[in-house]
């Protein structure tokens, strides 16, 4: 079953064919003083210090950065962004787009928890230029000295670029097939791969997202804390405002983690506006947990038009609790919009943004593991609709026969459109495997090239439902099991298991795969009152009853021990490697050390 169609404005001659960076001059000319980007800095003041740039100033700074980059490197060379989230980060990205220098959006080396990803992505990109700040320079120099990575020819300080250089820049033609930047994937299963995002890709995806997410709403504004080195944060914060010259207000992820209610308060500060925001499932769950009556007092979320939930599996419990907690603050029932995307499609693929409560269906888990949708009225598994695509095609395909599957049949999700990338940086073999999909019987659909997402899903009543990752599927005694189902059962089995911090995966046995579950300890259960045998017994019993399978090994580990990707997803393969290597911080070892 396939969904979608191409947008008329993205076809030759359409208004959407103007490269995104070329729109910057238009907004600078038509509304130079209108707000373009506002950064809220909570490190200077707990209440937040706002700095706003108008479209005229944004263009001037971007052109100055373009001139600076071209003084030190040439078209097609890479510039790695090793600086904190800020207005300077955006100006560097825009300047690189002008200069035909391939941006590599990364982060300052002092960002905790991402060292391995930074090393892999930086080494793969081989940048000739590093853009950073004076404050981050010691960390950058230490990173370059301590690791076997290429030394850049130049280091540029983003905050010290002379705005007067803007007049030095002369526009050059921008082709839709010209490489714009490298979006590095999370690297949860292997070395990070740089998705080659062209000017055409980023332009198309920004138009697609607005078309499917915010059609016909006047004065839209975006509020975000998402990291700019991640695909969803970059497209939402940088690309969306450029489509129609709208306003984006953003802060940094650390400020959100320290106080998630800042996110909601920034939204509430925009009266009379149609506000859009986005985040992964854990963010909505996190902010909901902080939504006390005192914190909700005076909060007005009636202007929140759409909040996209994507980047990781969407839990129905999160959708319902977020709606319940913030309903008193004016949150509309139809504001939540579950969606689906991936870096290989720039980011956005589908969203359920039809101004209605999220659609959830109850399905027979046993039938689903056999690849068939069977609706039920009670129990079993719940699936969340991720809506429909806008401006691209989505097909459910049997990966072995490459044939399109009918409505209600599980298959691999394939994507085709102007937003899908052509390949990975300097990796032709993997590029062909991912981006070279061809339908054996295309019918009315394009025969190719299709992007193979690696995700299982199905179409029901014209909407996409994601069922899990192909590589994560657990096959025990010939039966398929989705790890997220087992993880949910595990976290509900005992209070000592930390919610959303469980990894279920298969370990190869002599005759069949064996189930291993690694779960973080919940800090709310004191170590002194923890009974490891009780926790393990509860988990084993729950999995046996719910999934009719035995647990080969259950390991309770200390908080923070489950590997995660840069977008917050559970990195099952990385956790499995650490399990096999005996590198997990087990709670049993922690208890033994206290004796």
Phi then psi for 348, rounded to 5 degrees? Answer: -80, 130
CA pair distance 533, 235, nearest whole angstrom: 47
H or E, element range at 93: helix 87-99
**Long-range CB contacts for residues 213-216, cutoff 8 Å, separation at least 24:** 213/276, 213/306, 213/308, 213/337, 213/348, 213/351, 213/353, 213/390, 214/274, 214/276, 214/305, 214/306, 214/353
Domain positions in the chain:
340-425+434-470, 474-594
Q: What is the pLDDT along the chain (595 residues), one digit of tens a residue?
A: 577 777 776 666 565 678 999 999 999 999 999 999 999 999 989 999 999 999 999 999 999 999 999 999 999 999 999 999 999 999 999 999 999 999 999 999 988 767 788 999 999 999 999 999 999 999 999 999 999 999 999 999 999 999 999 999 999 999 999 999 999 986 444 478 999 999 999 999 999 988 887 666 777 899 999 999 999 999 999 999 999 999 999 999 999 999 999 999 999 998 778 899 999 888 998 899 888 888 888 899 999 999 999 877 788 889 999 999 999 999 998 999 999 999 999 999 999 888 899 999 999 888 888 889 999 887 668 899 999 998 999 999 999 999 999 999 999 999 999 999 999 999 999 899 999 999 998 888 999 999 999 899 999 999 999 988 777 778 776 677 878 888 888 988 899 899 889 999 888 765 567 889 999 999 888 888 888 899 988 898 888 887 878 888 999 988 888 887 766 678 888 888 889 888 888 888 888 877 6
pTM of the predicted model as reported, rounded to 2 decimal places: 0.86
- Kindly tell me the sign of the dihedral angle through the C-alpha atoms of 23, 29, 35, 41: positive
Same fold: 340-425+434-470 with 474-594: no
Measure the CA–CA gap between 222 and 236, rounded to whole angstroms. 8
What superfamily would CATH give domain 474-594?
ANL, C-terminal domain (3.30.300.30)
CB 118 within 8 A of CB 106: yes
For residue 394, what are its two tokens? 């989505």
Provide the CB-side half-sphere exposure for 541 (13 A, CA).
9
Q: Which of 209, 182, 281 is nearest to 567 (CA)?
A: 281
- In CATH, what class is 340-425+434-470? mainly beta
Residue position matching structure tokens 């049997």: 398
Task: Extract the tokens encoding 432.
Answer: 């062909």
Q: Which two tokens stand for residue 390?
A: 């806008």
SS3 378: coil
């Amino acid at each position: 079953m396939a969904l979608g169609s191409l947008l008329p404005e993205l076809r030759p001659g359409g208004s959407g064919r103007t490269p995104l960076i070329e729109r910057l001059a238009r907004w600078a000319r038509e509304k130079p003083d209108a707000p373009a980007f506002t950064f809220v800095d909570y490190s200077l003041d707990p209440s937040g210090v706002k700095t706003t740039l108008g479209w005229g100033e944004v263009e001037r700074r971007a052109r100055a950065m373009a001139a600076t980059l071209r003084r030190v490197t040439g078209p097609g060379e890479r510039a790695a962004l090793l600086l904190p989230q800020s207005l300077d980060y955006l100006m560097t990205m825009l300047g690189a787009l002008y200069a035909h220098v391939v941006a590599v959006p990364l982060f300052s080396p002092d960002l905790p928890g991402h060292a391995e990803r930074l090393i892999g992505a930086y080494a793969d990109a081989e940048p000739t230029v590093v853009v950073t700040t004076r404050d981050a320079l010691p960390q950058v120099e230490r990173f370059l000295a301590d690791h076997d990575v290429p030394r850049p020819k130049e280091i540029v300080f983003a905050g010290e670029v002379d705005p007067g250089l803007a007049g030095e820049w002369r526009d050059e033609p921008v082709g839709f097939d010209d490489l714009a930047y490298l979006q590095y994937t999370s690297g949860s299963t292997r070395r990070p791969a740089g998705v080659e995002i062209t000017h055409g890709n980023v332009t198309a995806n920004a138009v697609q997202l607005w078309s499917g997410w915010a059609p016909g709403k006047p004065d839209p504004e975006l509020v975000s804390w998402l990291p700019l080195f991640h695909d969803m944060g970059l497209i939402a914060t940088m690309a969306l405002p450029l489509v129609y010259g709208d306003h984006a207000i953003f802060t940094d992820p650390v400020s959100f983690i320290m106080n998630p209610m800042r996110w909601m308060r920034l939204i509430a500060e925009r009266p009379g506006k149609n506000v859009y925001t986005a985040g992964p499932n854990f963010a909505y769950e996190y902010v909901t947990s902080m939504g006390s009556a005192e914190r909700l007092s005076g909060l007005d979320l009636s202007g929140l038009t759409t909040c996209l939930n994507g980047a990781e599996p969407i839990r129905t419990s999160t959708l319902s609790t977020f709606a319940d907690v913030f309903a008193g603050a004016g949150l509309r029932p139809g504001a939540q919009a579950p969606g689906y995307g991936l870096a290989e499609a720039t980011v956005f693929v589908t969203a359920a943004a039809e101004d209605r409560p999220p659609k959830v269906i109850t399905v027979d888990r046993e039938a689903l593991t056999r690849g068939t949708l069977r609706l039920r009225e009670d129990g079993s598994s719940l699936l969340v609709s991720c809506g429909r695509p806008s401006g691209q095609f989505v097909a459910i395909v049997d990966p072995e026969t490459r044939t399109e599957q009918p409505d209600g049949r599980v298959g691999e999700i394939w994507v085709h459109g102007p937003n899908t990338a052509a390949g990975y940086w300097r990796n032709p073999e993997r590029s062909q495997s991912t981006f070279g999909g061809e339908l054996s019987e295309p019918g009315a659909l394009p025969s190719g090239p299709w992007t193979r997402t690696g995700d299982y899903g199905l179409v029901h009543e014209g909407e996409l439902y994601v069922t899990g990752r192909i590589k994560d599927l657990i096959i025990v005694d010939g039966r398929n099991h989705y790890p997220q189902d087992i993880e949910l059962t595990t976290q509900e089995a005992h209070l000592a298991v930390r919610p959303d911090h469980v990894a279920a995966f298969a370990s190869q046995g002599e005759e069949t795969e064996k189930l291993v579950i690694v779960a973080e300890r919940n800090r709310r259960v004191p170590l002194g009152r923890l009974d490891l045998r009780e926790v393990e017994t509860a988990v084993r019993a729950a999995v046996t009853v719910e999934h009719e399978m035995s647990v080969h090994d259950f390991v309770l580990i200390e908080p923070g021990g489950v590997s995660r990707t840069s977008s917050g997803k559970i990195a099952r393969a990385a956790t499995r490697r650490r399990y096999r290597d005996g590198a997990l911080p087990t709670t049993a070892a922690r208890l033994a050390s206290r004796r």
